[in-house]
Structure 1
């Protein structure tokens, strides 16, 4: 019974999240962020103002689908489980690929497919600063990823390799994100993987197959 209740709560939370995201994107595209209030959103969604702020920190974050609570716990757990217990000298051979997959899973959690992509692009066109907020949030996650890499690879705090890995893969993800949201083009995953492969070729002098990013 408890599992059923938890599943129902999760479904309702997911539905409310999607409703708030769609509403704020539509209103932003039509009026701009200053053209509507949180109270208007809550009225249309039939929720209280307090409930809105249990989901999102601001209108901006609602438009971008950035939840108040982290939603990548499962993806983070998979990333941490991929590390090799080791010597502090050698990194896991799959570190970069696993970190890239973590970024892709986070992106998929935003549910940017079909009409949702068009709605977000329309909102960003009306309010270009939203793209900057999305990029800032991605940079904030890079700092979190530095700690994840240190934990997974059993590195001392401040190990430069963790910092470089997080910021390199993060920079490639931001570039792909910006490209994807600024024009009607290929999927984020395709754009991101193209950059990962190009970076490997540039840094290692080796051409990595696309399948390298698709570990089962």
Structure 2
């Protein structure tokens, strides 16, 4: 019975992932073809075969579907581990960034679709950068909580800026290798290079 329960949960979770992936991919395809304003949520749902209510269980809007900002993404365990952990701050922050990337579920074909969608609808840049700014504010608060610093401590902001600046080039390199090199390895290697520049004694 225990095995059957686990199997049922696993099947439900797989269906959930498949639905989210289908909505995300079709939203990107439609945006690349018609632009973000060229289709409605209802049209997207009809093509994927789900209800409007189901769509909003996954995404707050079309922009989020295209960018892959899902309401079901949960990295709370990784964030809790970060706040309660000890050890090197930058290593811990890198581990959190890696956990978030691994939760995105994006391969090279999806990345190309996102690029095509953003090229067709440049206004998506605003949504993307708004999400980045919100994430950075949240990360500064997480760091302050972990380190016991004031909320406005400049060190938290610098840590976010430093580690966050590595994300884009690491993503580019990950896709340049067609995803064959683990993202975690790429990120940690680049962080090591950054450390060596900031502190030659490392």
Tell me, yes or no, if the aligned pair for 1:135 and 1:174 is still in contact at 8 Å.
no
Q: Pairwise mapping of residues 20-99 of structure 1 onto structure 2 (< 5 A)?
A: 20-83=23-86, 92=87, 94-99=88-93
Deviation track 1:163-206 (CA, whole Å, cap 9, x = no partner) reads 221232123324545x569xx63469366445423422232124
* TM, length-normalised to structure 1: 0.75
Q: Does 1:196 align with 2:191?
A: yes
Q: Does 1:155 align with 2:158?
A: no
Structure 1 portions without partners, runs of 5+: 84-91, 208-216
Structure 1 window deviating more from structure 2 (196-205 vs 11-20): it is 196-205
Q: Does 1:185 align with 2:176?
A: yes
Residue in structure 2 matched with residue 106 of structure 1 by the alignment: 100
Tell me, yes or no, if the aligned pair for 2:143 and 2:156 is still in contact at 8 Å.
yes
Residue in structure 2 matched with residue 119 of structure 1 by the alignment: 113
- Count residues with an aligned counterpart: 195
Residue in structure 2 matched with residue 87 of structure 1 by the alignment: none
Aligned-pair Cα RMSD in Å: 2.8
1:206/1:24 CA distance change after superposition, 3 Å: farther
Structure 2 portions without partners, runs of 5+: none
In 1, Cα distance between equivalents of 2:85 and 2:193: 24
Residue in structure 1 matched with residue 136 of structure 2 by the alignment: 142
Deviation track 1:108-134 (CA, whole Å, cap 9, x = no partner) reads 211121422232222223223434533
Alignment partner of 1:165 out of 155, 159, 164: 159
